[in-house]
Amino acid sequence: MSAAPDVAPVSSDLLLLEQHGATLVITINRPEVKNAVNLALAIEIAAAMDHLDSRPDLTVGVLTGAGSTFCAGMDLKAFLAGERPSLPGRGFAGLVEQPPAKPLIAAVEGYALAGGFEIALACDLVIASRTAVFGLPEVKRSLVAAGGGLLRLPARIPYHLAMEWALTGRLVPAEEAHDARLVSRITEPGEALAQALELAGTIAENGPLAVRATKQILSSARDWPSNEAFDRQREISEPVRSSADAREGATAFRERRTPVWRGR
């Protein structure tokens, strides 16, 4: 389990923020509607992602949901009233088209459905309880999973399996998602957040510049032409190699001590 959280930076009725060392925990706080996303919540999530990226003392984020559900997707009542919970340039939930530059871990309990599944897919790692359930049921309502689900799912699991999940709209138990390698780690019920914090803590022990650059390369490289890949990687990795933190890492190794990162 993690240590007691630091003082929360900024929270609201819709979104709770807590800082645990270099980890920011972001909790969607609409349990009365299974954490469904309306426009106000999308604006808050976008602001939280900006907060994560802008704070030099934060290295990684954990996104979870209050109560027994991660996120049931779009708030359909708001949708029927003419509201769309998307932001220009950021997409659904203020996140799916522009995830943070820093690593983001989804800690999933209960349902991660439709847009909720797309939020999880926008994260870099997924920790899920054994009782969690995933799915893209949009086709059952004559909708399209256009919040990144159809774009990201085939990159996470085998193509034909992604096609089956998306075309049938069926619910996928956490164990099956774990077997498909969509879920990084599976936990006992109620332990997803604790496991995500443990993983985040391990990541946060590393150099923050290197962590951010590593995510950038891993998430971007699939779109690079093969003859440009090393040059593009070099543009990202060389500033880290020449940083004060890189020198601190080598010095700490030589002196057999824990490095003190400055983020520069």
Domain identity same for 134 and 27 = yes
Residue 218 is part of a domain; what is its CATH number? 1.10.12
pLDDT tens column, 194-219: 999 999 999 999 999 999 999 999 99
Residue 101 is part of a domain; what is its CATH number? 3.90.226.10
Q: How many helices (H) and strands (E) does the chain have?
A: 10, 11
The token duo for 3 is 């240590």
Are the beta carbons of 52 and 58 closer than 8 angstroms?
yes
The last residue of a domain, from among 204, 224, 243: 204
In a domain, 262, yes or no: no
**pLDDT for position 54:** 95
Domain identity same for 216 and 125 = no
Sorting pLDDT into bands at 50, 70 and 90, what band is 94? Answer: very high
Q: Please give the residue range of the domain that contains residue 227.
A: 208-255
**pLDDT for position 79:** 84
pLDDT tens column, 185-200: 999 999 999 999 999 9
pLDDT tens column, 42-51: 999 999 999 9
The last residue of a domain, from among 204, 223, 241: 204
Domain count across the chain: 2
Distance between CA 254 and CA 257 in Å, rounded? 8
Domain identity same for 113 and 220 = no
176 catalytic? Reply is no
Are the beta carbons of 70 and 115 closer than 8 angstroms?
no
pLDDT tens column, 222-252: 999 999 999 999 999 999 999 999 999 999 9
Q: For 63-78, what is the mean pLDDT?
A: 94
Neighbours of 155 (CB within 10 A): 11
Catalytic pick from 18, 44, 118, 191?
A: 118
175 catalytic? Reply is no
Domain identity same for 200 and 239 = no
Rounded to two decimals, the pTM is 0.92
Catalytic pick from 138, 164, 175, 238?
A: 138
Q: Under DSSP, is residue 62 helix (H, G, I), strand (E, B) or coil? A: strand
Domain identity same for 234 and 105 = no
Q: Which amino acid is at 32?
A: E
Domain identity same for 116 and 237 = no
In a domain, 264, yes or no: no
Q: Is the pLDDT of residue 8 over 60?
A: no
CA-to-CA separations, 23 to 118, 201, 264, in angstroms, rounded? 22, 7, 18
The token duo for 170 is 């069926």
Domain identity same for 95 and 44 = yes
